C-alpha cells in the first residue's frame, strides 16, 4: 500500500477531470457523511464559495444540500476540487483516505496554496481546538452514559430480585388464603349476633355520614326538587321515581353540601352548604351531564323546616340582612319602598320567577321585621331595563365603607353624594357592649360643643392620648356618651355634622354671639370637612340649621340625636377575611 502511494502522483499535479473523477466516484459517501456547515468555513477562506453560495447550500433540503455544494464546487474547476479535498483532509481524514488513497497530513507542503500560510495556520489551530472541544464533550457524554448504564443495570438487578421475592410472597398468600377463609367461617358461625342487633349500630352511624353519589344530571330539575336556604341549608324535597337520582339512592331529607361536574371540559366545584335558595337553584341549573353530589342525611333539620313552612313561621330557609344603596318607590304590585341606607331583612330569595326577593324593613333598635314587600334581586338590578328606573345610590369609594345616611332630623333627605353600581351591601348586626363615642363636626364648632356637652350629665370628654381615636391628622378628637371602657372599631363611632347655608341668618348670628367666629370661617370650615365624611367607614348624621336657633336648643338637639343613635343597632359590613 505504501509503495502504491509513493507511485501515485501528487494531487496538485493531477488534471481537473482526474480530480473530479475521484470525487464523483465517492459522491455517495460524501453526501452521506459530510456536513456542509463544517466544510464551508475552509471553502470560503479558499475563495471557492461566496456568501450567496453559502446561503443556497444551507437553505437547501438536508438531502440535497451536499450534492448542491459539490455542483457549486464543480464550477470552480481545479481549485474547487483541491479545496474540497483539503477540507476533507482536515475534518474527515478517513473519507479523504478513501477518496485519494493517501494518509492525511497537515504539513504546509501538503496543501495547494489556495490559502496563504498565515491564514492556513490560523485556520488549522482553530480547527484543532474545535476538534479537541468536541472530543472532550464526546468523552464526557460517553462517561455520563456509562454511569447511567451502570445505574440502570443496578436497578434492573434489584427489580429482578424484587420480582423473585414477590413471586414467593404470592405463592405463600395463595397457600394461606383458603385456610384463613375456613377459619373465619367457623368463627363467624360461632360468635355472630342476630341480624337486627348487628345492623343497628351501622344504621346509627350512617345518619351522620357524608355521602358522595354519581349520577346523570341531565334535566336535573325534572329529577329532584329542593327547599331551604342559607340559614337552614338546602335539602332534597322530592325525587322523581325512576329517574337517575332515584336509582342512585337520593332521598328526601338529604342536605346538599357540594356539587361537582364538568362544563366546557373544565371541572367545576360548587359548595351549597350555606348558599341561598336562589344561588342553589342557579348552581343546580348549570348541570348538563354527569355530576357528583355530596349529601348529608339531616332528617331532623329537614322536618323542622317543613314544620316552620307549614305554620307560616318562615317563607323559606333564607335569612340575611342587607343595606340598600338606592332609593326606589313602592308600587301597587307589592314592591317594597326603600331609601338609600335602609336595612332590610331578606327571608326569601326565590319569591317569584321574575327575579324578586321578599324582604322586610328592620326596626332601627331591635331585630324586628316591619313592613314587607318584594325587592328586585341583585342580578335583576344590574339589567339595563331596570337601570332606567329612578333611584339614588350611595357613594362607596372606600372598600367595606358605609357613607352618609339619611337623618331623621333632616326629614329623611338622602345625601347628594350617592353614586355606586352595587344595589345592596351585605351587613350583620352588632350590639356594642359600651356606649359609642361621638365626634362633632365642623371642628370650629366641635371644639366648643365638646366642652359644653362634657358639662352635661352622662357625658365625658375623652382626654388626648387616652382611649382616643385621631381623625384627619389629629385635628379632631372623639367625644362619647358615658364612659369609654375600651377602644371600639371606627365603624362603631357616631359622627354628627351641623350643616350651614349662606341664607340662614339666625345661624350666623348665633356663631357671632356664642363663638365669636366670622361667618366666612364657619362656612369655609364646614365646606372643607363635609367631603371628608364620605371617606368614613361608618354612617354619620347631619343636623340641619332649621332644627335649632340658639345654644340651648343646639345642645338639646345634640343630646336627643346622640341618645337615639346610642339605642340603634350597628350594622357592619363583612371584613375581607370574612368573605
The answer to whether 351 and 360 are in contact (CB under 8 A) is no
Fold category of 206-310 in CATH: Pdz3 Domain (2.30.42)
- pLDDT at position 489, please? 61
The answer to whether 340 and 392 are in contact (CB under 8 A) is yes
CA distance 354 to 359: 15
Backbone angles phi, psi at 445, to 5 degrees: -90, -30
- Please, what's the largest Cα pairwise distance for the chain? 136
CA distance 575 to 579: 7
Q: 471 in helix, strand or coil? A: strand
CA distance 221 to 375: 25
- pLDDT at position 113, please? 61
Q: 227 in helix, strand or coil? A: strand
* Displacement of CA 133 from its chain's centroid (Å): 50
Cell of 544: 340641619
Angle at 404 between CA 532 and CA 530, to 5 degrees: 30
Of 390, 386, 375, the C-alpha closest to 327 is: 390
Q: Is the dihedral of CA 562, 568, 574, 575 positive or negative?
A: positive
* Displacement of CA 375 from its chain's centroid (Å): 31
CA distance 148 to 145: 5
Half-sphere exposure of 118 (CA within 13 A, CB side): 0
Q: 544 in helix, strand or coil? A: coil
CA distance 529 to 523: 10
Region at 290 (left for phi over 0; alpha for psi -120 to 50; beta for the rest): beta
Cell of 421: 353600581
Element (H, E) at 229: strand 224-229
What angle separates helix 36-45 from helix 51-59, to the nearest 10 degrees? Answer: 170
CA distance 73 to 418: 85
- The partner residues of 460 in beta bridges, in order of sequence, read 480
Domain boundaries along the sequence of the chain: 2-132, 206-310, 319-392, 430-572
The arrangement of secondary structure in 319-392, i.e. its CATH architecture, is Roll (2.30)
For residue 442, say if its preceding peptide bond is cis, omega within 30 degrees of 0: yes
- pLDDT at position 75, please? 85
- The partner residues of 262 in beta bridges, in order of sequence, read 267
3-class SS letters over 357-377: EEEEEECCCCCCEEEEEEEEC
Q: Which CATH number fits domain 2-132: 2.30.30.280, 1.10.533.10, 3.20.20.70, 3.40.50.970?
A: 1.10.533.10
* Displacement of CA 500 from its chain's centroid (Å): 48
- pLDDT at position 411, please? 37
What residues have CB less than 8 Å from 187, skipping those under 6 apart? none
Tell me the CA distances in angstroms from 144 to 108, 133, 136, 140, one per residue in order.
39, 16, 12, 6
Fold category of 430-572 in CATH: Rossmann fold (3.40.50)
- The partner residues of 293 in beta bridges, in order of sequence, read 213, 259
Q: Which residue has the cell 459530510?
A: 34
Q: Which residue has the cell 333598635?
A: 365
- pLDDT at position 216, please? 85
CA distance 534 to 573: 16
Q: Is the dihedral of CA 180, 186, 189, 190 positive or negative?
A: negative
- pLDDT at position 307, please? 93
pLDDT tens-place values along the chain, 579 residues long: 444 444 556 777 788 888 888 888 888 888 888 888 888 888 888 888 888 888 888 887 655 667 788 888 888 888 888 888 888 888 888 888 888 888 877 665 556 667 766 666 667 667 777 777 888 888 889 989 999 999 999 999 999 999 999 999 999 999 999 888 888 877 776 655 554 444 444 444 444 578 888 888 888 888 999 999 999 999 999 999 988 888 888 889 999 999 998 888 888 899 998 899 999 999 998 888 889 999 998 889 999 999 999 998 999 999 999 999 888 888 877 789 999 889 999 999 988 888 889 999 999 998 999 999 999 887 776 555 455 444 444 444 333 333 334 333 333 333 444 445 678 889 999 888 888 888 777 777 777 787 888 888 888 877 665 544 433 333 333 333 333 333 456 565 666 666 655 445 444 444 444 455 566 777 777 788 777 777 776 777 788 878 877 778 888 888 888 888 888 888 888 765 444
From the CA atom positions of the chain, what is the Rg in Å? 46
Backbone angles phi, psi at 324, to 5 degrees: -85, 130
- From the CB of residue 223, how many other CB atoms can be counted at a distance below 10 Å? 23
- Rounded to two decimals, the pTM is 0.56
Cell of 278: 336562589
Of 542, 505, 536, 511, the C-alpha closest to 445 is: 511
What angle separates helix 77-91 from helix 65-74, to the nearest 10 degrees? Answer: 130
Amino acid at each position: 500500500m505504501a509503495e502504491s502511494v509513493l507511485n501515485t502522483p501528487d494531487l496538485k499535479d493531477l488534471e481537473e477531470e482526474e480530480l473530479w473523477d475521484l470525487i464523483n466516484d465517492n459522491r455517495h459517501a460524501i453526501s452521506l457523511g459530510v456536513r456542509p456547515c463544517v466544510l464551508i468555513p475552509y471553502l470560503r477562506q479558499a475563495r471557492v464559495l461566496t456568501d450567496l453560495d453559502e446561503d443556497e447550500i444551507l437553505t437547501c433540503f438536508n438531502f440535497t444540500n451536499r450534492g448542491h455544494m459539490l455542483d457549486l464546487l464543480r464550477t470552480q474547476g481545479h481549485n474547487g476540487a483541491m479545496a474540497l479535498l483539503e477540507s476533507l483532509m482536515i475534518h474527515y481524514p478517513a473519507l479523504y483516505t478513501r477518496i485519494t488513497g493517501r494518509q492525511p497530513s497537515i504539513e504546509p507542503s501538503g496543501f495547494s496554496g489556495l490559502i496563504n500560510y498565515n491564514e492556513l495556520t490560523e485556520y488549522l489551530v482553530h480547527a484543532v481546538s474545535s476538534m479537541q472541544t468536541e472530543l472532550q464533550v464526546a468523552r464526557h457524554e460517553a462517561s455520563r452514559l456509562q454511569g447511567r448504564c451502570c445505574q440502570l443495570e443496578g436497578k434492573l438487578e434489584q427489580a429482578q430480585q424484587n420480582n423473585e421475592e414477590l413471586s414467593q410472597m404470592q405463592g405463600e398468600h395463595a397457600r394461606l388464603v383458603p385456610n384463613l377463609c375456613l377459619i373465619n367461617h367457623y368463627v363467624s358461625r360461632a360468635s355472630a349476633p342476630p341480624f337486627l342487633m348487628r345492623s343497628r349500630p351501622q344504621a346509627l352511624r350512617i345518619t351522620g355520614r357524608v355521602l358522595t353519589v354519581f349520577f346523570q344530571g341531565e334535566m336535573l330539575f325534572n329529577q329532584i326538587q329542593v327547599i331551604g336556604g342559607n340559614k337552614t341549608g338546602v335539602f332534597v324535597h322530592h325525587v322523581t321515581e325512576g329517574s337517575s337520582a332515584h336509582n342512585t339512592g337520593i332521598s328526601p331529607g338529604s342536605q346538599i353540601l357540594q356539587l361537582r361536574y364538568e362544563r366546557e371540559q373544565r371541572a367545576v366545584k360548587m359548595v351549597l352548604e350555606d348558599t341561598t335558595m336562589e344561588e342553589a337553584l342557579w348552581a343546580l341549573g348549570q348541570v348538563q351531564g354527569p355530576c357528583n353530589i355530596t349529601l348529608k342525611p339531616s332528617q331532623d333539620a329537614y322536618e323542622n323546616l317543613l314544620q316552620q313552612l307549614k305554620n307560616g313561621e318562615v317563607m323559606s330557609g333564607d335569612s340575611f340582612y342587607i343595606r340598600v344603596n338606592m332609593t326606589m318607590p313602592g308600587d301597587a304590585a307589592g314592591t317594597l319602598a326603600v331609601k338609600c341606607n335602609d336595612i332590610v331583612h331578606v327571608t326569601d330569595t326565590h319569591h317569584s320567577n321574575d327575579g324578586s326577593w321578599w324582604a322586610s324593613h328592620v326596626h332601627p333598635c331591635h331585630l324586628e321585621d316591619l313592613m314587607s314587600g318584594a325587592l328586585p334581586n341583585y342580578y335583576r338590578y344590574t339589567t339595563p331595563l331596570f337601570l332606567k328606573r329612578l333611584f339614588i345610590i350611595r357613594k362607596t369609594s372606600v372598600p367595606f365603607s358605609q357613607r352618609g345616611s339619611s337623618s331623621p332630623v333632616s326629614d329623611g333627605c338622602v345625601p347628594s353624594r350617592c353614586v355606586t353600581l352595587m344595589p345592596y351591601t351585605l351587613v350583620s348586626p352588632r350590639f356594642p357592649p359600651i356606649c359609642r363615642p361621638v365626634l362633632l363636626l365642623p371642628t370650629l364648632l366641635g371644639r366648643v360643643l365638646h366642652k359644653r356637652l362634657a358639662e352635661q350629665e352622662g357625658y365625658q370628654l375623652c382626654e388626648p392620648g387616652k382611649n382616643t381615636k385621631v381623625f384627619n391628622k389629629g385635628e379632631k378628637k372623639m367625644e362619647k356618651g358615658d364612659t369609654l371602657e375600651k377602644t371600639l372599631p371606627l365603624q362603631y363611632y357616631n359622627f354628627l355634622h351641623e350643616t350651614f347655608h349662606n341664607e340662614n341668618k339666625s345661624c350666623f348670628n348665633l356663631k357671632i354671639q356664642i363663638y365669636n367666629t366670622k361667618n366666612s370661617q364657619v362656612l369655609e370650615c364646614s365646606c372643607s370637612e363635609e367631603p371628608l365624611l364620605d371617606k368614613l367607614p361608618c354612617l354619620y348624621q347631619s343636623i340641619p340649621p332649621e332644627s335649632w336657633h340658639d345654644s340651648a336648643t343646639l345642645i338639646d338637639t345634640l343630646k336627643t340625636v346622640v341618645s337615639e343613635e346610642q339605642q340603634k343597632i350597628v350594622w357592619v359590613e363583612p371584613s375581607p377575611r370574612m368573605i
